[in-house]
Structure 1
Amino acid sequence: MVTAAEGRAGLRAHAFDALTRARERTLALSDCVEDAELTAQHSPLMSPLVWDMAHIGNQEEQWLLRAVGGQAPLRPEIDSLYDAFEHPRAERPALPLLPPDEARAYLTKVRGHAFRILERAQLAGRPLVADGFAFGMIAQHEQQHAETMLITHQLRRGPAALSAPPPPAAPAEAVALPSEVLVPAGPFTMGTDDDPWALDNERPAHRRELPAFCIDTLPVSNGAYLRFIEDGGYADPRWWTPAGWDHLRRTGLRAPLFWQREPDGWWRRRFGVREPVPEAEPVMHVSWYEADAYARWAGRRLPTEAEWEKAARFDPGTGRSRHFPWGESSPGPEQANLGQRHLGPAPVGGYPAGDSALGVRQLMGEVWEWTSSDFSPYPGFTAFPYREYSEVFFGPDYKVLRGGCFGTDPVVARATFRNWDYPVRRQIFAGFRTARTPLPEEQV
């Protein structure tokens, strides 16, 4: 039997590991370029990397040092500079931001205090500290910003600053996989009450009743998306929503972001390297409008958020919802392409050890997957620990993405995690898979 003290020690070690891994990644993404690259704004859609660095430290100071530790502010004068709601990204380069060396020193100082607070925290009692929630929230926050910094690296011009080995090839058996999986009608449990580090928009767990649906076994590949392009998909208003068609006409979109047609085929730029578009990889850097148009062209649709989660979590053998598609064990390198171990998605059909109970593959990692659903609260939602994490974003302006991508850390990657963004966004590492409603005779 595990004692309370042993349980707290395990939680402390888990939180220490999550925070340490996040900081190592933040520094790796900032130390690989010169200071001028850190202070530059590489796209009006993104903050300068140095803003992300100090923002990470400021959030950690506010929640771990002040809210959990009860300490006086270290740098109260910078709170407004790193308030994401107060200053839009396009305006942040003009702010009196901490220079890179000062931002690094601030990160180090805050982390030293945070670890001392973690050492003595009871990790029980009030909800903010129970089960180490605040420490998990901050680790997740830093990893989410690390993924944002990775997006900035993709947008920056100049020579490659990052490197990683290629992901594994898909197994030979992948070519024989069925194109889609039938998910039977019936109830399942959506959301969670059990994961102590789950965020407010993932809660509470609730019963959802869904009709039968079919969902792609694999994400849509670059090769499949090329057929949509070559068939004139970007020139045919039949496949686009009115808002999507209007956006396409105003922007002149003709292919995923970073793609370029050359006389010898399609090429792309990825983290400073120019290369042919690999047809076997999941398509990436497409907006919700593009994903929705492809699905219509293919005679299908995007899955709803609930459909995606049922395909990922529902185990027909037990009737229960799993924590991850493959079961309850934490993600390992054999199950999902996560944690920036590679600098791109693996070929479709890879990672068979990560299959869901229903046989759907590559649901975690690779690319964030657009769903058809608006970002809305679950029944019984309660904002915690602050409204600005989720509640202020609810509504029809944002579409939900699921599953994480190759740059998502395992501390964030769970089958209940909900991401959201504007339907025009393309710089994010997003792709999709499609679904359809089966005919009655297919459900027998």
Structure 2
Amino acid sequence: MRSPLEARRDAGQQETRPWKVHAVTELSAARSRMLRMLEGLPEDALTRQHSPLMSPIVWDVAHVANYEEQWLLRALGAPAFTDAAFDAVYDAFRHPRATRSHLPLLSPEQALAYAARVREASLDWLSRLPEDSDAPLLRGGFVFGMVAQHEQQHLETLAATLQLMTSHVYRPAASPRPRPARTAQHELFIPSGPVRLGSDAAWAYDNERPAHTVDVPPFLLDAHPVTNGDFVVFVESGGYEDPRWWDPQGFAWIQSQGIRHPLFWEPQENGTWLRRRFGWWEPIARDEPVQHVCWYEADAYARWAGKRLPTEAEWEKAAAGSDIRPRTFPWGHTPPTASHANLSGDTWGPSPIGSYPTGQSADGVWGLLGDVWEWTSSTFNGYPGFKPYPYREYSEVFFGTEYRVLRGGAWASAPVAVRNSFRNWDYPIRRHIFAGFRCARDAR
């Protein structure tokens, strides 16, 4: 039987219910997911550095708890458990990921106990706070939303770490994915007009603010993300060897790294392809969105196909539609459910294209949220009037041409951290993240 909280969430009332209820629901969902993900992993798997790109898992567990202690307890006037020296160990900006295994980290048992202690104190403190506070951190429950999203974003990072892990076989119990009829790729015309970019919603991050309107010329957009089957054609036609399709820096990089196909793919002597998924090998599913490709690979494929990557304004226009009130999600304002998109991490992989008809946008675009993050052509910068809040290190320090924007979330993303306005970013060489893409084309 569903609890009252679950019933209200399923009914899509998260924007109207009291923010305290919403905060408890999302914090609890994040912690339950963390414990499910870590269940059964031996201590060595939790403490080992599986890749220089990622932290030891146990660092992420304690970091999430320390972040929560700083923002849901200390910043709101509650007593502290730890001190500045402890904070420094779990400061993501002080210690690069490749060096974190050398820090004096808590053991897995200690880290989980610390996380549980902080959570208990946070919920107790939450019960004492006023629902209608005008304090900036509490307005609409912003700081609780920030912490819930932060934990879920780290759980997506943990999923990427588990995919990189080779010292232990990790075979999570996956929820079944849809198996739709074969779906053909096609282009959709997105008309010109204004689009309201960003969000002023209570739980929106600073880089989504302020909401503002821009005009977008007409364009054509692929109805679905590029699939593994599509991408195999690019690989087998010599796409990785032909500099015509590549950004010069990207081509130099793949040449230096010896890259000839997406990460975790392996060609077979009989001409087929296998991929490694969380410790085991399986044939690539040709009808699933391609993932583990970097921006350079996505850009090269788009050029080879006679197209390009969409800008983030184009992507958000396709998702928001032309309604007077822009849609929060491609299908409308109802929060995501399992019928709308592949989110929450339970499937442990993308679903075939055409799996979620109720998740289509007003213009008929499929799969804009979930399955794979989608690379855009845009670099990461603040919107006009941007103000860092509540700290510069979430967004502002990353602004510039060094990073490319991704949109839409992946199968490993949580619904609380997915919406039309949500902006992700990474280096154009990143391949271990759950990223794919779709192509666009000028309509003029």
Q: TM-score range with shorter-chain normalisation?
A: over 0.9
Residue pairs, 1:102-113, within 5 angstroms: 102-113=110-121
Match of residue 356 from structure 1? 361
Contact 2:375 2:405 in 1 (8 A): yes
CA distance in 2, matches of 1:8, 1:62: 28
Residues 1:314 and 2:306 are matched in the alignment: no
Report the RMSD for the aligned CA atoms in angstroms: 1.4
2:274 is the alignment partner of 1:267:
yes
For 1:405, what is the secondary structure of its paired residue?
A: coil
1:333 Cα offset (Å): 0.5
Of 220, 224, 230, 2:236 maps to 230
1:171 Cα deviation from its structure 2 partner:
4.3
**1:62-81 to 2 correspondences below 5 Å:** 62-81=70-89
After TM superposition, list the pairs within 5 Å mapping 1:26-175 onto structure 2. 26-123=34-131, 124-157=133-166, 158-171=168-181, 174-175=183-184
Quick one: distance in 1 between partners of 2:96 and 2:357? 41
The aligned amino acid for 1:359 is G
Change (3 A) 1:319 1:130: closer
User: Could you tell me which of 203, 208, 232 is aligned with 1:202?
Assistant: 208
For residues 9 and 80 of structure 1, the distance between their equivalents in structure 2, rounded to whole angstroms, comes to: 37
The size of the alignment, in residue pairs, is: 427
Match of 1:4 in 2: none
Deviations 1:66-109 (A, max 9, x none): 00133234344310000000000000001110011110110011
Normalization by structure 1: what TM-score? 0.94
Unaligned runs of 5+ in 1: 1-6, 440-444
Q: Find the aligned partners of 1:235 and 1:26 in 2 and give their Cα distance.
A: 41
| 1:160-213 superposed Cα distances (whole Å, 9 cap, x missing partner) | 2412133111246x44xx6011111111111112x2100000011101111110
Pick closer, same or farther for the CA change 1:336–1:356 going to 2, 3 Å.
same
Checking the alignment, whether the CA contact within 8 Å between 1:314 and 1:358 is kept in structure 2 is yes
Measured after TM superposition, the shift of residue 30 of structure 1 is: 2.1
Q: 1:338 Cα shift?
A: 0.3
Equivalent residue, structure 2, for 1:288: 295
Whole-angstrom CA distance in 2 between matches of 1:221 and 1:239: 19
Distance 2:233 2:191 in 1: 30
Aligned partner of 2:6 in structure 1 is none
Deviates more, 1:130-139 or 1:115-124: 115-124
* SS of equivalent residue, structure 2 residue 415: coil
TM-score, normalising length: structure 2? 0.94
Q: Match of 1:32, as an amino acid?
A: G
Q: State the Cα distance separating 1:273 from its structure 2 match.
A: 1.8
Q: Which residue number corresponds to residue 422 of structure 1?
A: 427
Higher mean C-alpha deviation, range 65-74 or range 179-188: 65-74
Which residue number in structure 2 is paired with residue 442 of structure 1? Answer: none
Contact 1:170 1:346 in 2 (8 A): no
Separation (CA, whole Å) in 2 of partners of 1:74 and 1:23: 21
Deviations 1:10-30 (A, max 9, x none): 221110010001011112222
The residue that corresponds to 2:227 in the other structure is 221
Q: Deviations over 1:109-153 (max 9, x none)?
A: 100110011111114211101111111100000000000000011
Does the CA-based 8 Å contact 1:159-1:273 persist in structure 2? yes
Q: Does 1:249 align with 2:255?
A: yes
Once residues 347 and 69 of structure 1 are traced to their aligned partners in structure 2, the CA distance between those partners, rounded to angstroms, is 48
Identity, % of aligned pairs? Answer: 53
With 72-81 and 359-368 compared, the bigger mean Cα shift is at 72-81
Query: SS of the counterpart of 1:275?
Result: strand
SS in 1 for 2:433: coil
Instruction: After TM superposition, give the deviation of residue 31 of structure 1 in Å.
Output: 2.5
Tell me if the contact between 1:188 and 1:320 (Cα under 8 Å) persists in the aligned partners: no
- Counterpart CA distance in 2 for 1:12 and 1:115 is 10
Q: Could you tell me how far 1:8 is from its partner in structure 2?
A: 9.9
Partner residue in 1 for 2:284:
277
- In structure 2, relative to structure 1, the CA distance for the partners of 1:371 and 1:16 (3 Å cut) is same
Which stretch of the first structure deviates more once superposed, 286-295 or 163-172? 163-172
Aligned residue identity for 2:206: D
* Ranges of 4+ aligned residues in structure 1 off by more than 4 Å: none
Residue identity matched to 1:85:
F
What residue in structure 1 maps to residue 384 of structure 2?
Answer: 379
